[in-house]
Chain A
Amino acid sequence: MSRSNFTRRGLLKTGAVAGTTFALPTIFTSRAANAFTNEPTGSSVTFGFNVPQTGAYAEEGMDELRAQQLAVEHLNGIGDGGMLSTFSSKVLTGAGLLGKEVKFVSGDTQTKADIARGTAQSMIQKDGVIMITGGSSSAEAIAVQGLCQEAGVIFMAGLTHSNDTTGKDRKANGFRHFFNAYMSGVALTPVLQKVYGSDRRAYHLTADYTWGWTQEASIAASTEAIGWQTVQKVMTPVGAGDFSSYLAPVLNSGADVLILNHYGADMVNSLTQAVQFGLRDKQVNGKNFEIVVPLYSELMAAGAGENIKGVYGSMNWNWQLQDAGTKAFVKSFGEKYGFPPSNAAQTCYAQIMLYADAVTRANSFNPCAVAEALEGFEFDGLGNGPTLYRKDDHQCFKDVLVMKGAEAPTSQYDNLEIVEITPVAQVTYAPDHPMFAGGALGDCNPGA
């Protein structure tokens, strides 16, 4: 009489192992045949554009998407080529990428970090994207960057200004072209000192999330370094809408400068309401009360209308720059869409060009080969002047623009004016700067 070797425990074990194997996402199981995650095998390669199309920063996201689509057209040889002709690296020819046509998929992050991570995961698993770019908030960028590191794809960050993106949350598979809060502080402060003096008392209203925290720390540190006193730092909920109860205490705080560490709709509302409260008409400590918005965007400035006049801030790029790269991009974008691009659009366009260029120079889509090509890469002609992608933290170093709300705009597009172009040397910091401490790039993950 034969006895079966099957036992209840054995069956359960076998079932568990088999179940786990089948339940594993294809992101892990499909790697066996490939050298790296989503290695392109057909005639095309797919990029993932993960941008907010709804939510607080949707307008920035939509402009990013326009620029991303334009970049894909230029890579595939459609249109006027934009900044391909001005880019200092000449390996991109407009004939696709390594002989493959560039395609893209897009996802709506809804300006929420968890949704952004979900849409990115879907792009990697379902759509087989080789890289992801986009995002309009640092919370999104940090979440997606972490995912890309785990999954083994390159993340070319869009609009993210928090120090943490290339600081404590930096990742080997993540790269940031946009400037950061520290750079805003060191670029803006000398101008503020020149126009408002060294004896000022600042009151901060700050969006309560990663970007707000690092911007507040950066601006407070740089203004205190020139002698300004920080009177109060107040966190405000993201999307508060009515900031009146946060603005009222400013009136009698003894502060003579209000620093709004807000972005998007929050900035539009807090600035508008601050002006309505008559803050800019006040005299405190014998000086005119002033408002500063450290991070500007063209779309926010449009939303704030006349309230933006004379208010200082900083930007990564502006369409009014006169270099050849900017002119080529503005022409290309303007002719296609009928209005000038935002700095969110420019950074996403540049990121796609930089990724494509690195793939071509590395002659590989392998994320680690691409990362190696990007690290320490020096380039010019993409609108920001000579730029370095620093190896230590994957942060781009380039000039920073100090802006001011135009007193007499001649059209709806020039409501901001460039006050100063702060040279890259002034905004460069050591890789181990305390504001960026606590993180490590780690090793590049090809996902295989």
Chain B
Amino acid sequence: MDAILLQILNGLDKGSAYALIALGLTLIFGTLGVVNFAHGALFMIGSFCSVTLSKLFSLSFETVDPTKLDFLGNPSKVTTPYVQAWFGPELGAAIIDWSVPLAILLAIPVMLIVGYVMERGLIKHFYKRAHADQILVTFGLAIVLQEIVKYFFGANPISAPAPEVFRGSLDFGPFFGLEANKVIYPYWRLVYFFFSAGIIAAVFAFLRFTTFGMVVRAGMADRETVGLLGIDIDKRFTVMFGIAAAVAGLAGVMYAPILSPNYQMGMDFLVLSFVVVVVGGMGSLPGAVLAGFLLGILQSFASMNEVKSVIPGIDQIIIYLVAIIILLTRPRGLMGRKGVMEE
């Protein structure tokens, strides 16, 4: 029971990340019809927004301490962050400590701009090209973005810890009538789950309850008719590209304490997220969310020793196995719409 509970919890936070990335992918595919292989790179850039803000907050001035020596035997330099000098040691330290959540404020404009530039500067030229062309160009773009990040931040993972108050774990055992310390779960992963749920709800609410969202949904259903009504649907779709980029970026920002940011992390998520999109149904936003959580939970269960002892290696193939089964039984995915990605 405790093991099952733990794996459900694991699956929820893993699924949250898959769902957020897949949601952005589906938004882009559903509006612009573009298969965006650079979407994982947007997740990675978001993650590096936390690193960047942490580094900005940690910018320091140096003073020489003649009583200490550095590794070369020269007088040691003591660094003091400017924020601590300006706001006092305690407030300054708190600002640095909270750099990951605060990075959300940096990531939103940065990702909107990155998304806008990416769409206007490159991807719009490939709207009428074959999906293979779109995949090639966006995959190339992903590699370029990776290398840029590597140039500035190096290849090593960079630690981006959660605020002190969220370090440690919550004991779920007593909530379910289990022994204490049997089901413990990190606070930050819970934060991540609720954050993801909030973002997903906000995206759905935006599309459902705003005029802008209504026009976008209409455009997704029948782009031509919406255009004939005199609405500049392309402009709105460009904004949606920016929003999708921001969703991926925010997923990355908050994931930084779970997975130390490194320049390749986007690629690791990209393939899985595409499987999630396909399983959920191309172009279906609820499908992407549902499939994200479903595959996240299944992947967690497949990693259990009891399961692996019966089917060795199942943890590495479960997602693809489920994708095959679902596509054989429901070729359009769990919630796919007729006519999407079909000739």
Contacts and interface: CB of A to CB of B under 8 A. Distances in A.
A244 B14 contact: yes
A269 interface: yes
Tell me whether chain A's interface is mostly helix, strand or loop, or mixed: helix
Nearest to B146: A54
Interface of B: 2-3, 6-7, 9-11, 13-14, 68, 70-72, 76, 150, 154-159, 161-162, 167-169, 181-186, 188-189, 257-260, 262, 264-265, 268-269, 299-300, 302-305, 308, 315-316
A244 B10 contact: yes
Contacts of A302: 156, 159
9 contacts: A55-B264, A58-B155, A58-B156, A244-B13, A248-B9, A249-B6, A252-B2, A277-B169, A330-B72
A276 B169 contact: yes
Contacts of B181: 251, 282
A331 B156 CA distance: 24
A299 B159 CA distance: 12
B305 A249 contact: yes
Contacts of B308: 234
Given A269-B259, A330-B71, A299 B305 contact: no
Contacts of A4: none
A265 B2 CA distance: 29
Contacts of A359: none
Contacts of A319: 71
A278 interface: yes
A245 interface: yes
* Chain A interface size, under 10 / 10 to 19 / 20 to 34 / 35 or more: 35 or more
Interface of A: 53-56, 58-59, 62, 232, 234, 237, 239, 241-242, 244-246, 248-249, 251-252, 265, 268-269, 272-273, 276-278, 281-282, 299, 302-307, 319, 330-331, 334-335, 339-340, 410-411, 413-414
A255 to B, nearest CB: 12
Contact of A59 (B154, B268, B305): B154
A369 B188 CA distance: 59
Contacts of A278: 168-169, 184, 186
A411 B74 CA distance: 13
Nearest to B159: A305
The 4 A-B pairs at the shortest CB distance, nearest first, are namely A305-B159, A58-B155, A245-B303, A278-B169
A245 B150 contact: no
Contacts of B186: 273, 276-278
Contacts of A265: 156-157, 260, 262, 264
Contacts of A306: 159, 161
A277 B303 CA distance: 17
A303 B155 contact: no
